Amino acid sequence: MKVEDSFTVAAAPDTVWAFLTDPARLLPCVPGCDAIETIDPTHYRAAVRIALGPIKTRFNVEVEIVAQEKPHRIVSKTRGEEGGKASLLAADNLLRLVPTDGGTEVHYSSEAALTGRLGKFGFGMLKKQAEKLGREFAERVRAALETEPAGAGQA
Amino acid sequence: MDDAIDPNRSVGRSANRLELREKLTGQAKYIADLSRPNMLHAAILGSPHAHARILGYDTKAAKAVPGVHAVLTGDDFPDGRMGAFVKDEPPIAQGKVRFIGEPVAVVAADDEATARRAAQLIEVEYEELVPVLTPEQGLAEGAPLVHEDLPNYFMVFDAIRYGNVLSETTLSEGDVAKGFAEADIVVEGEYETPAQAHVAIEPCGALAEIDEQGRVTLWSANQSVFRVQANVCESLKLPMPKLRSLTPRIGGGFGNKMEAHVQPLVVQLAIVTRRPVKLILSREEDTETVRVRHPFRIRMRTGARKDGTLVAREIDTILDGGAYGDDSPGVLGYSLLMSRGPYNIPHVKAHGRLVYTNKLRSGAFRGFGNPQVSFAGESQIDEIARRLDMDPIELRLRNAVRGEGPWFLGQKLASNGFVECLETMRAAAHWDERRNSSPTPGKKRGFGVAAAAHISGLLGTGAIVRLLEDGSVVLNTGAVDIGQGSDTILAQICAESLKIPLDRVAVASPDTDGSPYNWGTTASRVTFTTGRSVALAAAEVAKQIKELAADMLECAADDLELRDGGFVGIKGVPEKQLPLFLVSIQAHWRRGGPIVGHHTWVFDRPTVDPKRAVVSGLPFRQIGVYSFAALAVEVEVDAVTGKTEVVKAWQSVDVGRAINPRSVEGQMDGGFAQGLGFALTEEIVFDNGRVVNPTLMDYKVPTAKDVPFHMQTIIVESPEPDGPFGAKGVGEIGLVPVPAAVANAIADATGARLRKLPMTPERVLTEMLPPETDDDAA
Amino acid sequence: MSDRPAITLTVNGKDCTVAVDGAETLLETLRDRLSLTGAKRGCNQGVCGACTVMIDGRPMRSCLSLTANCTGSDIVTVEGIAPNGSLGRMQAALEETGAVQCGFCTSGMIVTAEALLRDNPHPSAADVQAGLSGNLCRCSGYRMIVEAVLLAAAGGGESA
Amino acid sequence: MNLHRPTDLADAIRLLAEMPEARPLAGGASLVAMMNARIVEPAALVSLARVPGLAGITEEQDGALRIGAMTRHRETASDMRLTGGRSILRRAASRIANPVVRNMGTIGGSIALADPAADYPAALVCLDAGIEIAGASGTRRIAAKDFFTGWYETALQPGEMAVAVHLPPAPAGSVGAYRKLARIAGDFAIVSVALMLGAEGDRCTTLRVAVGACGPAPLRLPEFEAKLVGRPLDALDIGALGRALAWIADPVDDVRASAAYRRRVVPRLVTDAYERARRKHEARR
């Protein structure tokens, strides 16, 4: 299942990069996420609440930064599981920042696979839900960056 | 129906199933209905990855769950390898996982819920590998290997194998370049068919029990107790006498239960726990982990002269074999053998490659590769007819293989009712007057035909017929009745051979201890090959009866005959006869011992005539005899949505001799319905190797409302000298022509030529009306 | 673990008391506790129809019915369609037409068809096709099963 | 897991309020299927089987029909009071799954699950139905169009349950059409269209069109419908409404069909449903 989209932020790529690589500032933008734990600069751990229609569950996920090229692209892997491994999530993600007039275009794509009990739930709906979460994330990132005083993130 | 029943005539009569009453009253026992004292229940942990190395297991938490008796991983299994053509499959994933859902660990516990809960607590450490998700990826330069050990695997034939290619087969006759040069028109196309799920309504399962000597008795949903025995013993490195394989009633097979599913897992659990262990797959597990019909990509071109004479055909196919070899090399070879179709085409070249991928294995499924190539071939015949403005039945008649053929590669046909099939189908369907009625408003109506041939035969069979003290008979063949009715048909052949009423024949349940070898209920073979063994074994019994009766009646054995109702008497002297029970008693207590007839038989006429054909990589030397069929369908395509409905169907089938006409119709009806699903709705969808639609909510098979009630079968009888009473097989052929007939009817209705299955409303509408033409909606 | 209250239901005319967890389905109770294995598990999602039984006079999916929710209900399974040794009209008609192949769908098919005939004594073929559309059969292509229902409706296959 | 079988509505509501992890159990056709697949594992169930007053269809003083939450699809599919424009609901009910499942499934259970591809949502939104909801703080009623809020999401708050559907009288002389495209008999819809048409002579007086299975909730464009009201039936640009509905559609790509196909089929099915309704109207005159 591939999810991809892009959004534009009125901030320079460096600013966006700094924001997206700072767990503390990123945290409030991730829907359903209460904490991000930094294991080391390329490994993070988080718990995410997910609601899929009648299903309400939590995934424990680990994100590994596989490659990065500041401030252009981040390649990462997400691996997660529900409690008791009823479902497993695996995603390969690519984030690209492209400078535009007065801002940055953020492209993201993720090739994700969900196996186990939730993998049996309507495939189309999962993708919609993932897209929706992506849009919420984008909305929050933009809101955060565009309302922040200029340069706040560069400290 | 033939209601005036002569109890002494069994062949040609639509006798009821021997086991009918138990099925009508809910008493028939299938694998899930069996249980043994102290039985444990098993559950599987499946792989979440399509391709990964297994680095280690942690089973502590699972073992600590109260009620859990064993937790086994790949480390706890012997490292044997099983497979019908290539020994490439371990009993459980070892070292590597090769498809999502592949069992990596199993648990036995007091109940199913506990076993499932414990299975989820098993930790497996993986190193993910790049998966091969399509055959094209598998063929690419530098592709990761699904089986690094392929060159070292034992194979039962001299396969051409390299990289991810498990088998490459090439068959040719004549000179295709020359043939195409002679053609006035050439049709060419690329065809695609999906993975289809068998959906036997009974999911797979098995129950194993071990005795104090360490011998295991195994009941399982299967199509061959002998293939079960071979697969379990090979994969678990178990001496064959250590395993006895039995069968309960089977709730449909269609190929899904031919090779192994969970049998090695439950046997190993029984060995380790020393207790009976049962495992019944859920519908989703069955769909995700057992096997599917091979997806094919077929490039085909066919050349014809202006007068409709076919001159050349060339086929190139790629088969998605999935993660293990299973029956795949056979499917490849057989599909190519069938790719010429039942036509005389002088110049033919067929080439195919079978590629490993990191997906659920493909295997045997009713039709065995033939429905896929027939979809392409019979679509092209239709296109040629359209291009030449010829009637499609006429075109087929003009090119039909007649008389003794030969078939592609040179085998001569001893029976051939193909032309009669086409003609009787044409008459039944009122084909020439088909446009006389008007279609339903809002629907585009079309008519399509397709033809098919299919073999019945292959490999070893035997039969033992034993005369009981009272003159009745017990028949033991080892052939598993998977629901298609073979027990009844074999009993009919036996009864008729001995001139005794059908109710005097009992059929022994297959048992690897006591039954003669039977390769399996597959390849439309049981009536033809096992039936032949039954007839020969019964003849042996008749011979012994006559020898003994000759002494008792003081005459020559040659002067004796079997008489209706269970008698043996002197020819021409009606009053001189003995009931069989007297002969049997004499045998049991006085002389020679009980009368037992035993016969084995295998079809052994060669498939290839080396003077005609050039062949490489073909996995069989002799295959069987040919049944024929012709099908016409009437479809209605919804002009608004593109949804296709088949409203009527007429099919003719040459079965040599219908031992049980109603069972013949049952096979043809059922094959048609399964073919209809393949044509219109059924497709296992993979997403990065994961089966997206394993449930019956998402994977849709036809319901009573989707299959036409108006479905007529005409039985053609062109007796096969090798067959019992002239009979040939009918188990698969009904499915074979359906996709092409429907595609041809859609083309007739709408002008749209569909080359990809299933022919969903979306695909039909897209071909019917290119998207840009849309706004003038209905 | 929750407590397992004992509940009573009538199965094929007999009162049965079972102690079940709230999540236990009637299909499990029938098969595992009452040894009535005529109803089959084909999908456990209510799609295939092999588990169909009569609950309070209506055919329902036993795999979608929770036993604890059937307290006091009257259940009839294929084993209870006709008294011992005899066949109901639908069973007799299936015998007559030879529609049965593997038999795995047969129990559910019989229960559904019995109710169909009760509600619509003179169905058309299309009525029967619609009425049986929730009972999957992979062997027969349905034609002979539909014929059997029509035969039963016509009074054929009436049996001892 | 405990199954509670309260015998009055207040008890049921109280149980649901006391146990936030409990779920109400109606016919079980969807919930038990999901439990069997371990997709949901509720801590407790509150069965509505013995709650009086929840099953059945009753006529109210204003001519509205009240369909209790526990009314089975079978009953809704055969209630002959559902005529004229309201026949849409009867037809939608008759297309759900198959006869056996229709003996089990209920309207309340179906709408509470809010599967976007189910048959009721579009029909109810087309019919301007109201949903009666009960909770610890009493009952409230909201319009069907506000009830379906997202993918499998509804306006039900924790502890609340839908207790009835209210169908207002359809305009006199209105007719309905329900067009469902599905792969196989009884499958969920690829696209469904519910359309109500009222006319005086040749002039359209009412037009309502709701499209199902093409987004998180049924699609409707009341302002666009209003623009077409008053037009002559044979000069009413139904295709434009269909295209507008396709434009706002947000369908899924799944095993039933692609999103692109669903969008493409919407105007075609809307037009076809309109033509069917128009023929019914003509036949009445």
Per-residue pLDDT reduced to its tens digit, B674-726: 999 999 999 999 988 999 999 999 999 999 999 999 999 999 999 999 999 99
* Bridge partner list, D203: D200, D232
The verdict on a CB contact (< 8 Å) between D38 and A117 is yes
For B34-129+204-280, give the CATH class.
Answer: alpha beta
Chain D residues lying within 8 Å of A125, measured CB to CB: 116, 151-152, 252, 254
The verdict on a CB contact (< 8 Å) between B640 and D268 is yes
Q: Which of residues 61-100 of B touch D (CB under 8 A)?
A: none
Looking at residue C160, its pLDDT comes to 39
pLDDT at C159 over 70: no
Per-residue pLDDT reduced to its tens digit, B414-452: 999 999 999 999 999 999 999 888 888 889 999 999 999
- The conformation of residue D241, written as its DSSP 8-state character, comes to H
Looking at residue B435, its pLDDT comes to 87
The verdict on a CB contact (< 8 Å) between D252 and A128 is yes
Q: Give the separation between CA C110 and CA B115, rounded to whole angstroms.
A: 34
The verdict on a CB contact (< 8 Å) between A124 and D252 is yes
- Residue-wise burial string across B353-381, b where 16 or more C-beta atoms lie within 10 A, e elsewhere: bbbbbbbbbbbbbbbbbbbbbbbbbbbbb
Is C135 an 8 Å CB contact of chain B? yes
Is B681 an 8 Å CB contact of chain D? yes
Looking at residue B1, its pLDDT comes to 41
Range in A45-49, B72-76, B126-130, D79-83 with the lowest mean pLDDT: A45-49
Element (DSSP H or E) covering residue B385: helix B370-388
Per-residue pLDDT reduced to its tens digit, A37-89: 889 988 989 888 888 777 888 888 888 889 988 888 989 888 888 876 778 88
Is C151 an 8 Å CB contact of chain B? no
* Bridge partner list, B217: B209, B244
Whole-model pTM: value is 0.94
Chain B residues lying within 8 Å of C140, measured CB to CB: 666, 669-670, 673
Give the best residue of A85, A89, A111, A114 to mutate against chain B (max B CB count within 10 A): A85
The verdict on a CB contact (< 8 Å) between C134 and D98 is yes
Longest dimension (CA), chain C: 53
Check: CB of residue B620 under 8 Å from CB of residue B458: yes
The verdict on a CB contact (< 8 Å) between C142 and B707 is yes
Is C75 an 8 Å CB contact of chain D? no
Q: Beta strand B473-476 with B505-507: parallel, antiparallel or unpaired?
A: parallel
The verdict on a CB contact (< 8 Å) between D271 and B778 is yes
Q: Give the separation between CA B689 and CA B120, rounded to whole angstroms.
A: 21
Joined tokens for residue B389: 């403005």
Please report the ipTM that was assigned to this predicted complex: 0.93
Q: Which of residues 7-26 of A touch D (CB under 8 A)?
A: none
pLDDT at C1 over 80: no
The verdict on a CB contact (< 8 Å) between B669 and C140 is yes
The rounded mean pLDDT for chain B is 95
Chain D residues lying within 8 Å of B771, measured CB to CB: 264
CA B398 to chain centroid, in Å, comes to 31
Radius of gyration of chain D from Cα atoms? 19
Task: Looking at the complex, report in whole angstroms how far the Cα of residue C4 sits from the nearest Cα belonging to chain B.
Answer: 16
Give the best residue of B700, B709, B772 to mutate against chain D (max D CB count within 10 A): B700
Element (DSSP H or E) covering residue B456: strand B443-457
CB-CB neighbours of A73 under 10 Å: 15
Q: What domains sit in chain C, N to C, each tagged with a CATH number?
A: 6-80 (3.10.20.30), 89-153 (1.10.150.120)
Taking each helix axis from N to C terminus, what angle separates B738-750 and B370-388, rounded to the nearest 10 degrees?
30
Per-residue pLDDT reduced to its tens digit, B406-416: 999 999 999 99
Chain C residues lying within 8 Å of D5, measured CB to CB: 68-69, 71
The verdict on a CB contact (< 8 Å) between A53 and D252 is no
Per-residue pLDDT reduced to its tens digit, B547-560: 999 999 999 999 99
Per-residue pLDDT reduced to its tens digit, B503-528: 999 999 999 999 999 999 988 899 99
Q: Cis omega (within 30 of 0) on the bond before B406? A: yes
Element (DSSP H or E) covering residue B648: strand B644-654
Positive or negative: CA dihedral B197, D212, B774, B778:
positive
| Span A141-150, average pLDDT | 77
Looking at residue A132, its pLDDT comes to 84
Q: What domains sit in chain D, N to C, each tagged with a CATH number?
A: 1-46 (3.30.43.10), 175-284 (3.30.390.50)
| Span A120-149, average pLDDT | 80
Looking at residue C85, its pLDDT comes to 82
pLDDT at B398 over 80: yes
Check: CB of residue C97 under 8 Å from CB of residue C75: no
Name the pLDDT band for C5 (thresholds 50, 70, 90). confident
Joined tokens for residue C50: 């092999």
Task: Looking at the complex, report in whole angstroms how far the Cα of residue D136 sits from the nearest Cα belonging to chain B.
Answer: 35
Residue limits of CATH 3.90.1170.50 in chain B: 34-129+204-280
CA neighbor of B561 nearest in space, from B548, B546, B575: B546
Chain C residues lying within 8 Å of D99, measured CB to CB: 59, 112, 116, 130-131, 133-134
Name the pLDDT band for B770 (thresholds 50, 70, 90). confident
Angle A95-A98-A99 (CA atoms, 0-180°, nearest 5)?
145
Chain D residues lying within 8 Å of C49, measured CB to CB: 98, 100
Between D96 and A78, the more confident residue is: D96
The verdict on a CB contact (< 8 Å) between A120 and B688 is no
Residue limits of CATH 3.30.365.10 in chain B: 20-27+459-601, 296-458+608-773
* Bridge partner list, B44: B106
Is A143 an 8 Å CB contact of chain D? no
The rounded mean pLDDT for chain C is 93
Is B441 an 8 Å CB contact of chain D? no
The domain over range A2-154 is classified in CATH as 3.30.530.20:
yes
Q: Which of residues 482-521 of B touch A (CB under 8 A)?
A: none
The verdict on a CB contact (< 8 Å) between B483 and C103 is yes
SS3 per-residue string spanning B190-216: EEEECECCCCCCCCCEEEEEECCCCCE
Nearest to B688 among A85, A113, A116 (CB): A113
Nearest to B700 among D187, D261, D272 (CB): D187
The verdict on a CB contact (< 8 Å) between C21 and D1 is yes
Looking at residue B304, its pLDDT comes to 98
Q: Give the separation between CA D168 and CA D162, rounded to whole angstroms.
A: 17
pLDDT at B123 over 60: yes
How many contacts does B have with D, using Cβ atoms within 8 A? 68
Q: Give the separation between CA B298 and CA B309, rounded to whole angstroms.
A: 23
B296-458+608-773: CATH topology is Aldehyde Oxidoreductase; domain 4 (3.30.365)
CB-CB neighbours of D138 under 10 Å: 8
The rounded mean pLDDT for chain D is 95
Per-residue pLDDT reduced to its tens digit, B479-506: 999 999 999 999 999 999 999 999 999 9
The verdict on a CB contact (< 8 Å) between A53 and D254 is no
Per-residue pLDDT reduced to its tens digit, D253-274: 888 999 999 999 999 999 999 9
- Residue-wise burial string across B142-158, b where 16 or more C-beta atoms lie within 10 A, e elsewhere: ebeebbeebeebebeee
Looking at residue B449, its pLDDT comes to 98
The domain over range B20-27+459-601 is classified in CATH as 1.10.150.120:
no
Give the best residue of A120, A121, A123, A126 to mutate against chain B (max B CB count within 10 A): A120
Check: CB of residue B51 under 8 Å from CB of residue B130: yes
Task: Compute the half-sphere exposure of residue A97: CA atoms within 13 Å on the CB side of its CA.
Answer: 23
Q: Cis omega (within 30 of 0) on the bond before B758? A: yes
Looking at residue C157, its pLDDT comes to 57
pLDDT at A20 over 90: no
- Which residue carries 């469904």 as its tokens? D192
Check: CB of residue A41 under 8 Å from CB of residue A114: no
Q: Give the separation between CA D226 and CA D205, rounded to whole angstroms.
A: 9
Nearest to B771 among D183, D186, D264 (CB): D264
Q: Beta strand B243-246 with B216-220: parallel, antiparallel or unpaired?
A: parallel
